[in-house]
Structure 1
Amino acid sequence: MTRPRAASERFVAQLPTRTKSRVQVIYSPIMEIRPLPVEVETEGVQGLIFTSANAVHAAALKGVDRNLPAFCVGPTTTSTAKGCGWQAEMVGATAEELVGHLLKRRPKSPLLHLRGENTRGNVAGRLTESGLTVGELPVYQQLLLPLTSEATRVAALDSPVIAPLFSPRTARHFADIWTGSAPLWLAAISQATADPLYSLDYARLKIAKKPTPKKMRKAVKKLVKHALRVEGGAVPD
């Protein structure tokens, strides 16, 4: 598992029991999330935009006003925001869908997009260009990490390795640092995440039908099934 440890453990916990019983799970986060030392000023702000659960956690640590409505991407970000006390609403499974929804709905502005240092989609810029006033502020950074020694060891063996990738940036980084000879079975949460992986010598690459944890779990389940059928034995995940 390549996500930060807590997110990886949540994902694994929600896999079907049979799938979990057929794999050896190895945690090797290749990205670390750290809150940035910034102040979030919300005077005059009419609502927040969250496109990741990491931004929600960072905002909560900084005591950002829970009375503001929160427009969120995806079920995980939305449930995280609700759990932290915001009146959160899911307005799309992707940043593209969020932009389209907000442009159609035209909520009161200005809005504030709290995000990571590295992000895609230019949410604030596109909304502002179309008539909504939207500011943006990075509240966390994403530090890239090498594979752990355990993951490196397994990558050099003969057993198939299943690697779920959840963002284009982590996929690019994984493609850069993977040097293993083990049969590689890849799951990508989106086409944009899959694109950097085509340079790898992999046995199979499966793209989730939708960029959601549920569809990624289904993709991983199918990869485990196929990998065991083709390769046999336990599959490191």
Structure 2
Amino acid sequence: MLTLLMTRPRAAAERFVARLAPDLRDRLRVIYAPLLDIVVLPDPVSLDGVRGVIFTSANGVAAGVVAGVHPALPARTLPAYCVGDATAEAARRAGWTVNDCFETADALVAALGDRCPQGPLLHLRGVHARGDIAERLTAAGIKTRAQALYDQRLVALSDAAHRALRGDDPVIVPLFSPRTARQFADAARGPAPLYLAAISEAAAEPLVNMTHSALIVADRPDGAAMAAAVERLSDQASRVEGPRTAQ
């Protein structure tokens, strides 16, 4: 039987598995083995003077709720700019008015740089973040500051994950960030055929030197494209394409 090894935090992993096609889920044994623990930080957050908020992950929205960060102005005057559909949906559920949703951080920076919305803007994010959004927007003339609401602390690979990797059955592993990809590459040992899906080229980079049967990069950096990648890998693994290769 095929194993799907989910390395995202549990809630996000369960949402991802739920979006897979039912017939695909029926073919998979799912192991939840988060490589990150999301820890909300105690620092207070002020929205005084802020004219817009940037969210780049659903974790940022959720951490804001825990920290008591809610729209302090009428929603129509305090827009939220989001990266990713899941982030935008989380922001809407938390009460924010989502003005725009962008596929990537680069797309957000480019679009806001063209529109020049009135600042200051506040990017609510994790300790470990890519893209330098606040710095790039400020350099473009849109005053923006960033505040970390949560930390993404690395977690060791679980015993259940190690057992699967020591077995003979194919293991499909979707990896959603360069940090978790590096953590997985450093920890994974065993003969199980690996079918790896990376959300971006940056996330694929730590994986290329692993022994694997397949490594693909999602067509877009979002959950739908990663689900499609998992389905492709499942089809490949089911066909038993041949021996693993060291890339």
TM-score range, shorter chain: over 0.9
1:91–1:97 Cα contact (<8 Å) kept = no
Paired position in structure 1 for 2:45: 40
Q: Classify the secondary structure of the residue corresponding to 2:32.
A: coil
Report the Cα distance in structure 1 between the residues aligned to 2:232 and 2:92, rounded to whole angstroms. Answer: 31
Counterpart check, 1:64 vs 2:74: no
Paired position in structure 1 for 2:7: 2
Which one is further off, 60-69 or 29-38? 60-69
Counterpart check, 1:52 vs 2:57: yes
Counterpart check, 1:144 vs 2:154: yes
Q: 1:20 aligns with which of 3, 20, 25?
A: 25
Q: Structure 2: any 5+ residue segments left out of the alignment?
A: 1-5, 243-247
**What count of residue pairs does the alignment treat as equivalent?**
232
Paired position in structure 1 for 2:3: none
Report the Cα distance in structure 1 between the residues aligned to 2:101 and 2:233, rounded to whole angstroms. Answer: 30
Q: Classify the secondary structure of the residue corresponding to 1:26.
A: strand
Q: What amino acid maps onto 1:221 in structure 2? A: E
Q: Classify the secondary structure of the residue corresponding to 2:44.
A: coil
**CA deviation after TM superposition for structure 1 residue 130, in Å:** 1.1
Paired position in structure 1 for 2:221: 211
Report the Cα distance in structure 2 between the residues aligned to 1:14 and 1:162, rounded to whole angstroms. Answer: 16
Q: Classify the secondary structure of the residue corresponding to 1:25.
A: strand
Structural RMSD (CA): 1.2
Q: What amino acid maps onto 1:135 in structure 2? A: R
**CA deviation after TM superposition for structure 1 residue 231, in Å:** 6.4
Paired position in structure 1 for 2:180: 170
Paired position in structure 2 for 1:101: 111
Report the Cα distance in structure 2 between the residues aligned to 1:65 and 1:16, rounded to whole angstroms. Answer: 35
Q: 2:140 aligns with which of 130, 144, 161?
A: 130
Runs of 4+ with >6 A deviation: none
Report the Cα distance in structure 2 between the residues aligned to 1:110 and 1:26, rounded to whole angstroms. Answer: 43
2:42–2:67 Cα contact (<8 Å) kept = no
1:160–1:231 Cα contact (<8 Å) kept = no
Report the Cα distance in structure 2 between the residues aligned to 1:180 and 1:73, rounded to whole angstroms. Answer: 36
Q: Structure 1: any 5+ residue segments left out of the alignment?
A: 233-237
Report the Cα distance in structure 2 between the residues aligned to 1:192 and 1:157, rounded to whole angstroms. Answer: 28
Q: 1:116 aligns with which of 123, 126, 137?
A: 126
Report the Cα distance in structure 2 between the residues aligned to 1:90 and 1:186, rounded to whole angstroms. Answer: 31
**CA deviation after TM superposition for structure 1 residue 89, in Å:** 3.1
TM-score norm. by structure 2 comes to 0.91
Q: What amino acid maps onto 2:168 in structure 1? A: D
Report the Cα distance in structure 2 between the residues aligned to 1:54 and 1:71, rounded to whole angstroms. Answer: 15
1:115–1:139 Cα contact (<8 Å) kept = yes
**CA deviation after TM superposition for structure 1 residue 114, in Å:** 0.5
**CA deviation after TM superposition for structure 1 residue 195, in Å:** 1.0
Q: What amino acid maps onto 2:43 in structure 1? A: V
Report the Cα distance in structure 1 between the residues aligned to 2:99 and 2:30, rounded to whole angstroms. Answer: 33
Report the Cα distance in structure 2 between the residues aligned to 1:74 and 1:164, rounded to whole angstroms. Answer: 17
Report the Cα distance in structure 1 between the residues aligned to 2:145 and 2:221, rounded to whole angstroms. Answer: 25
Paired position in structure 2 for 1:235: none
Q: Percent identity?
A: 49
Report the Cα distance in structure 2 between the residues aligned to 1:89 and 1:187, rounded to whole angstroms. Answer: 31
1:74–1:90 Cα contact (<8 Å) kept = no
